[in-house]
Amino acid sequence: MIEPRATMIPPSTIRLERLLPGPVERVWSYITESKKRATWLAAGEFDLRIGGKIELHFENDKLPNDVVPEGKGGRHSFEGKITRLEPNRALGHTWMWNGELTEVLYELTPKGKDVLLTIHHKLVDDRKTKIGVSAGWVVHTGILEDHLNGVNPRPFYTTHDKLQKDYEAAL
């Protein structure tokens, strides 16, 4: 299977689409519920209302099937506010990234028994950040796809490092 590519929408928005096994309510729960989200992205509570606080606690070294490279790992926490909420359809939130305010939008579109997940992440205009975040979204959503398909999830760091090198070469 060919991995989806994160694409850039100038000047600094990453866009990623990934077709996932549905139904949409199941995918929504993996985006909004801390325990499920921790299996593919980051734990943390989401106060599901416009203006509600979100927390993201990344612990990529706890994701399965990989060895943590030296100097990586640990817990990284971020906060933001919900900016858009359409249950089972769309969730938008801010995300403080390295002291800069970014925005993420998850959109879910039913496609028969599957669900098209589209992510837009508006970032600061920094090449290194764009490369790392693009690779990160591809890997994290790939791990989500693996969970939803009931297969052993791909390794985070090994896959991320390879993708990051691919994006560096492409940009």
What value does the mean pLDDT take over residues 139-144? 96
Q: Which amino acid is at 100?
A: E
Position 52 scores a pLDDT of 98
Position 171 scores a pLDDT of 64
Mean of the per-residue pLDDT values for the chain? 90
In a domain, 1, yes or no: no
Cα gap 50→69, rounded to integer Å: 38
In a domain, 2, yes or no: no
In a domain, 108, yes or no: yes
Cα gap 147→132, rounded to integer Å: 23
Position 96 scores a pLDDT of 85
- The CATH number given to whatever domain includes residue 75 is 3.30.530.20
**Token pair for 60:** 């990529």
In a domain, 23, yes or no: yes
18-76 confidence digits (pLDDT tens): 999 999 999 999 999 999 999 999 999 999 999 999 999 998 878 776 777 777 777 88
Cα gap 145→159, rounded to integer Å: 14
3-state SS, residue 99: coil
Residue range of the domain that includes 96? 7-170
Cα gap 37→27, rounded to integer Å: 10
In a domain, 42, yes or no: yes
In a domain, 51, yes or no: yes
Decide if pLDDT at 109 tops 70.
Answer: yes
Cα gap 127→171, rounded to integer Å: 8
In a domain, 120, yes or no: yes
Decide if pLDDT at 1 tops 60.
Answer: no
Number of structural domains, the chain?
1
Cα gap 85→51, rounded to integer Å: 10
Between 130 and 142, residue with greater pLDDT: 142
